[in-house]
Amino acid sequence: MNLPTKNQKLIDWVNECAEMMTPDAVVWCDGSEAEYQKMADIMVDAGLATRLKKRPNSLLFRSDPSDVARVENRTYIASKTKEAAGPTNNWIDPAELKATMKELYKGCMKGRTMYVIPFSMGPVGSNISKIGVEITDSPYVVMNMHTMTRVGTKVLDALGADGEYIPCLHSIGKPLAEGEDDGGLWPCAPLDKKYIAHFPEERLIWSYGSGYGGNALLGKKCLALRIASAQARDEGWMAEHMLILKLTNPEGVEKHVAAAFPSACGKTNLAMLVPTIPGWKVETVGDDIAWMKFGDDGKLYAINPEAGFFGVAPGTSMDSNPNAMESIKKDTIFTNVALTEDGDVWWEDIGYPAPGKLIDWKGNEWEQGKSEGPSSHPNSRFTAKASNCPSIASNWEDPKGVPIDAFLFGGRRPSVIPLVHEADSWAHGTFMGSIVGSEVTAAALDLKAGTIRRDPMAMLPFCGYNMGEYFQHWIDLGKQDGVQLPKVFFVNWFRKTDDGQWLWPGFGENSRVLEYIFNRCDGKAKTVDTPIGKMPAKGELSLPEGVTQEDMDELLSVDLDGWKKEVADIKANHYPKFGDKLPKELAVFLDSLEKKLNA
């Protein structure tokens, strides 16, 4: 066989995997359009995908109902010691986990093809980018990796004969028995046989038993956050669960903002925001992940390591995110949404009524107002090319990255957290990021939606090592000589009145908060010092239509009793988890906050 690489280490690993999993054939992916179409044909012919008549080059997939989201309780950080994984990660001894998984992998690709996907996270050749190679038996994964990363021969060329890559091994699980019917759904292993395993010291990822996005597209959360965060700590950079947007004011001055929100809390909407303020422009650099390194000028430069969007469909509409809706008109993979009679897709809160009878995400007939349950899974997804997005920034693939001026943290909080406040310093911003709390969403399979959980820097499910050490890494970055660090802000678009009405309209009106942050980066907007940080002075934030000054006063108030409860919860239930790994600076900030609130 004429192999497309001379990297002997890679060739040996591929051969070793093939020997263990005994596929019928091995195919090295070249990243071509012809290859993408071949994968689509395979899935359509097998009854696992439906072509959409209304959307060119687009398909709908339905997963097994047990395989619809990240499985956090089956996701492991198998570092050499339990302490290295830390209290917020599931840990298994790496030798024990490998032994278990090797048994599962034995012969698991019999009757299937093994695909070898060379991919680059970030522009090929950028000094911030990393190369991975995913082995999989899922054409669905091949197609999604085509969209989400840079795949193919150009990556192998950049890797060369002795370049470093991150090995990523994936299988959907044991093949179906002869004559067994999968009901038109992709096969997957039962929950207790699913494993999403990371070996941070070896820079290695093994996944078994799931075909769902974050568990199977190993370039995404597995490499881009869990493994990359460990690399970033060791190499002095940042791998963060952050969108990146480019903000241009009416005078043509540009700034770049990176923002961390837990999944399904409006990250994609903010990254693709259409401003309501005349003359302002928001452009998309990335909607989910940011890798950042210091440039020669001391600023943090960020790339989006991904090449596409893996967005939550329900709630996406022309009102909430017109740029996303334009992005998914063609070349899109839809997963677990409803199918219309005329060959289009539909989901809850898409902005218009369901057009007649649908086939729901489980393959059953569904009628709005008559059928039980939603037509689309709450965590149903679209995978779309970033290059198809109307708001994509011209510099989104700049290999040098874009200079970051501000960090935002946020989550879904109906009360307590104000619309926007600013950290007093980088270390104080680290403290603010470390106490982020948000309502749990449908993106996490095994947690009750609606409850509040702490999700520091929106990295709780994605940090590949001890989170106490992760906080320390942030603080240490701020102590370096000659660095120009971004200003840090906390935002909350989700405040509600006592009777459950939204206090802030959100969506495009969030541009008013971005305008304020832009001005703060230039030192222009006035602030008021409060116990929780700097708040906008009265009149510094313009009022959207329908928002009264009374509403704004409420949105920018400091709820002393609410914050005292926050402090009590952090002291009792959050910070103690990290034991002696919690940086002393963070404990000092918490004590200081408590004293200020009591004063």
Which residue in the list 265, 389, 463, 521 is annotated as catalytic?
Answer: 265
**CA angle at 271 for the pair 414 and 261, rounded to the nearest 5°:** 40
Q: Is 263 assigned a ligand-binding role in the annotation? A: yes
- Distances from the Cα of 597 to the Cα of 384, 426, 495, 591, angstroms: 46, 21, 21, 10
334, 345 Cβ separation under 8 angstroms? yes
Q: Is 58 assigned a ligand-binding role in the annotation? A: no
Q: Is 364 assigned a ligand-binding role in the annotation? A: no
Q: Is 269 assigned a ligand-binding role in the annotation? A: yes
* Number of continuous H segments (helices) and E segments (strands) in the chain: 16, 31
Q: Is 192 assigned a ligand-binding role in the annotation? A: no
Three-state secondary structure call for residue 548: coil
Q: Is 213 assigned a ligand-binding role in the annotation? A: yes
Pairing of strands 406-410, 487-491: parallel
Asked if 265 is an active-site residue, the reply is: yes
Burial of 40 (0-12, 13-18, 19+ CB in 10 A): buried
Q: Is 492 assigned a ligand-binding role in the annotation? A: no
Q: Looking at beta carbons, which pairs linking 342-347 to residues 24 or more positions away fall under 8 Å?
A: 342/53, 342/54, 343/50, 343/51, 343/52, 343/53, 343/54, 344/52, 344/53, 344/54, 344/55, 345/52, 345/55, 345/60, 345/313, 346/375, 346/376, 347/313, 347/314, 347/316, 347/375, 347/376, 347/380
Length of the chain in residues, anyone?
A: 599
**Pairwise CA distance, residues 91 & 200, whole Å:** 12
Q: Is 462 assigned a ligand-binding role in the annotation? A: no
Q: Is 214 assigned a ligand-binding role in the annotation? A: yes
306, 286 Cβ separation under 8 angstroms? yes
237, 299 Cβ separation under 8 angstroms? no
Q: What is the largest CA-CA distance in the chain?
A: 75
Burial of 18 (0-12, 13-18, 19+ CB in 10 A): middle
Q: What single DSSP character describes residue 539?
A: T
**Pairwise CA distance, residues 218 & 168, whole Å:** 6
Binding annotation for substrate: 70, 212-214, 263, 379-381
Give the residue numbers marked as catalytic: 265
State the binding site for Mn(2+).
221, 241, 288
Question: Which residues are known binding-site members for GTP?
Answer: 264-269, 381, 412, 507-510
Annotated binding site: 70, 212-214, 221, 241, 263-269, 288, 379-381, 412, 507-510
